[in-house]
Amino acid sequence: MEEDKIEEDKKHPERQTPDAENPYRLLNLKLTHVEKWAAGVPAVMASLSDLVEEKTLLRGARALFSMNQFGGFDCSSCAWPDPDDDRSPIGEYCENGAKALAEEATTKRVTPEFFRKNSVYELSKLDDYQIGKMGRLTDPVYLPEDGTHYQPISWDDAFRKIAAHLNALASPDEAAFYTSGRTSNEASFVYQLFAKEYGTNNMPDCSNMCHETSGSALRPTIGIGKGTVTLEDFYESEVVVIIGQNPGTNAPRMMSALEKTKKNGGKIIAINPLPEAGLMGFRNPQEIKGVIGSGVKLADLYLPVKINGDMALLKAIEWLLLDFERKSPGEVLDKKFIEEKTVGYEAFSRQFENYRLDELAAECGVSADLLYEAAQMMAFKSRIIVCWGMGLTQQPNGVDMIREILNILLLKGSIGKKGAGVCPVRGHSNVQGNRTMMIDEKPTDEQLDRLQRFFGFNPPRKHGYDVVRAIKAIHEEKIKLLFCMGGNFLSATPDTTYTAHALRKLRLLVCVSTKLNRGHLVHGKEAIILPTLSRSDLDIVNGELQIVSTENSMGVVQSSKGVLKPVSNNLLNETQIVCRLAMATLGSRAVVNWQRYHDSYDAVRDDIEKCIPGFDNYNTRVRHKGGFYLPNAARDEQLFASQYNYRAPFTLTEIPDNRLADDEYMMATTRTHDQFNTTIYGLDDRYRGIKNERRVIFMNEKDIQKAGFRNGDKVDLFNYDDGIERIAPLFIIVAYQIPEQNTVTYFPETNVLVSVNNVVKESNMPASKYVKIRIRKHDPEIYKRIERIEAQPR
């Protein structure tokens, strides 16, 4: 139990609360060997260790056998799909899924008594790892203006207070409603419906920080902002290309699919600045070979691309494919597909008269020989899948790079056929479902027309704010109330100092959460925390056990039914939270029957069916074993963009200028293996050889020597975008296999260096994988400088 006042842990002196004058501290970094394979027995042991740490070994272990199983609950971690029929009775979860469950199943509790004993200031001195380990929230709490401690509040009083704030605003557009990807389809639908009936499209969501780029690239080209493959396509693919994505940490169950690709004779090409363990090898802990053997080699070819060198690399492959076609006419390109299903090929092919292979190779940092080998692996194959993650989507030209990937697949006719297509690997477990449920600051007229016809009110037509624009609007006091449905807004967003300044200007910050996080501690004039059920909790409404539903990365909608007794009797599910807030806010002017939705998830699904295409017989089909696939015309019928007569256009793009000054480095932020998004499970990064530390910067050995540093030196990191000095102090240099003048650090520690104006073209996502920094030896006086920066409003 975590109800006593926070004290130093005598067993772990390295985890002591840092001094108030210096909130940054280093632990006892230990470097171990860098792994060349992922999973195996160590993953099993790490999973069990987390259950023990959260004091939920038996409770959590029992729940694991229901995770991702038919009739069980959907993992709240990543969005990788479950097999349609062949699910392992041993377990359909990975190490990170087990860690996510341990955090939900924990018996540690954050009660009103905990808040009475611990002030917001005391809690804010802890790091994100310490904050997250406090346990599950049990009761609604309220922080009054000028208050020092959160204090208990009843649900009714909380809803009345939030409603009073909402109704006092001069315009509904002075409120914003943020969504985390964990939110179910049912809760997402009623949430966006409430925002629209209230009168705003200000619905920033986590897609605005992860795969908005994918949707922006795909919708205008193939007519759908989602992937076009199924899990079974991986088993039939001849070549799988993984670019800017790390399966071993970000979607570990993906490695099981890649294992089947290899067993069936397929090849894998890995493209990434770091040679990640999960790209190189996999030891399946459910097979003897994975326990006592060497497992399976994954990548047949690894291309160590520079940060943002991907565009040059992709164009080099295209250059080679076109060259192969000239030498072997009709054998490399799918001319029939190009003629019947695409537009713009002639202009696309002409551009390569201006490129040279040696120049493209130099630009991307990969030798011409390796590029030739990659193109050769693809040249005479047609069943090709390309997967990507935030290594692409968080680049300033990420939209163009994804369209360049599509160019390659169009050349090969590798879309809309078995074993081929595009596969954006989504992060959070229902982030794709959120968008399908119209969690979107830019809803289409067609979507709004359907809502208007069915419900009878006129939803707002003006586009709202995405995450980056919402932060700026809060800073400018155009948004005065922020309601967060899950997530950790502050730690997930860029430009931490700027964002924190903005959040403190809010009249009211409301967070619907399962656990304490930093977003509760940097708040508006008033703040409310509403505790909710987790995905694994039993959800009982009017005496009946409920199901919710989610959509995975491949467009499968399936049911999820919790199994754990909630840690508190004073928790509400997200759908009921929205419905009660709607009734308190809208009162007699409401058109929607919110009480009906409050009392029945089936009622919500009945109306989703009438408002969103593809959900016919929703309540029946979602209860079928494995759920159902949503329509996907690009995948199923090779029907693409309607504005091009359902053909797919080739896109003309440019290679960016990535030149750096001699003392500049390109930094990309990433997660550790002991982390999911902003949730920190532990302090290790096992696959990269890091133990008991997060404040590290991976650098090339030549860069370390050239700058006069040594491996293990303590340094401060600086960014000067927009003419503003941003500082991330006290990092340890770790020599690593990474291209020269490229560096990698962990988020959220270095989000402070990501300018709110450093965004992806078209998608307006933070470009957190493209941050120019300078590195200097650590200055103990740097903290005073940081205090001055933080005290100055921008």
pLDDT per residue as tens digits for the range 702-728: 999 999 999 999 999 999 999 999 999
* 519-543 average pLDDT score: 96
CA distance linking residue 786 with residue 773, whole number of Å? 16
548-551: strand order across its sheet: 548-551, 556-560, 628-629
Q: What is the pLDDT of residue 252?
A: 87
The span from the first CA to the last CA of the chain, in angstroms, equals 41
Are 329 and 376 in contact, with CB atoms under 8 Å apart?
no
Sign of the alpha-carbon dihedral angle for 25, 28, 34, 39: negative
Would the pLDDT of 8 be above 70?
Answer: no
Q: Return the SS3 of 30.
A: strand
Cβ–Cβ contacts within 10 Å for residue 370, how many? 19
Distances (CA, A) of 785 to 22, 756, 789: 12, 21, 6
Give the phi and the psi of residue 656 in degrees, each rounded to 5: -70, 160
CA distance linking residue 394 with residue 759, whole number of Å? 8
Residue 456's contacts (CB-CB under 8 Å, 6 or more residues apart) are: 591
Locate 149 and state its tokens: 């401690």
Average pLDDT of the residues of the chain: 93
CA distance linking residue 668 with residue 665, whole number of Å? 10
CA distance linking residue 784 with residue 22, whole number of Å? 9
Would the pLDDT of 37 be above 70?
Answer: yes
Q: What is the pTM of this model?
A: 0.94
Are 368 and 224 in contact, with CB atoms under 8 Å apart?
no
Q: What is the pLDDT of residue 793?
A: 73
Distances (CA, A) of 319 to 354, 411, 709: 10, 11, 40
Residue 385's contacts (CB-CB under 8 Å, 6 or more residues apart) are: 229, 233, 234, 237, 239, 240, 241, 414, 419, 420, 421, 422, 423
The DSSP bridge partners found for residue 422 are: 386
Locate 429 and state its tokens: 């477990």
Are 416 and 429 in contact, with CB atoms under 8 Å apart?
no
Q: Select the more confidently predicted residue: 17 or 537.
A: 537
Residue with tokens 């459910």: 286
Would the pLDDT of 516 be above 70?
Answer: yes
Q: Return the SS3 of 295.
A: coil
* 501-511 average pLDDT score: 97
DSSP string, 114-152: HHHHS-HHHHHTS-HHHHHTT-EE-S-EEE-TT-SS-EE
Q: What is the pLDDT of residue 408?
A: 98
The H or E element spanning position 50 is helix 41-53
Would the pLDDT of 18 be above 60?
Answer: no
Sign of the alpha-carbon dihedral angle for 424, 426, 432, 435: negative
CA angle, 758 then 760 then 766, to 5°: 55
The H or E element spanning position 775 is strand 771-777
Hey, what amino acid is at 459? P
Distances (CA, A) of 645 to 129, 130, 215, 408, 640: 52, 55, 20, 21, 8
Q: Among the listed ranges 580-584, 672-676, 693-697, which one has the minimum average pLDDT value? A: 672-676
Q: For residue range 575-618, what is the model confidence (pLDDT) as tens digits? A: 999 999 999 999 999 999 999 999 999 999 999 999 999 999 99
Q: For residue range 46-104, what is the model confidence (pLDDT) as tens digits? A: 877 878 888 788 898 888 888 888 888 888 888 888 888 777 777 777 888 888 888 89
Hey, what amino acid is at 777? K
Residue 302's contacts (CB-CB under 8 Å, 6 or more residues apart) are: 269, 270, 271, 272, 275, 279, 280
Number of residues assigned to the chain = 794
The DSSP bridge partners found for residue 511 are: 484, 529
pLDDT band at 23 (very low <50, low <70, confident <90, very high): low
- Residue 748: cis peptide before it, omega within 30 degrees of 0: yes
Locate 597 and state its tokens: 């939705």
Q: What is the pLDDT of residue 790?
A: 82
Hey, what amino acid is at 332? V
* 201-208 average pLDDT score: 96
The DSSP bridge partners found for residue 404 are: none
Assign residue 276 a region (left: φ > 0; alpha: ψ between -120 and 50; beta: otherwise): beta
Distances (CA, A) of 151 to 112, 600, 660: 6, 31, 51
- The DSSP secondary-structure symbol of 31 reads E
Would the pLDDT of 1 be above 50?
Answer: no
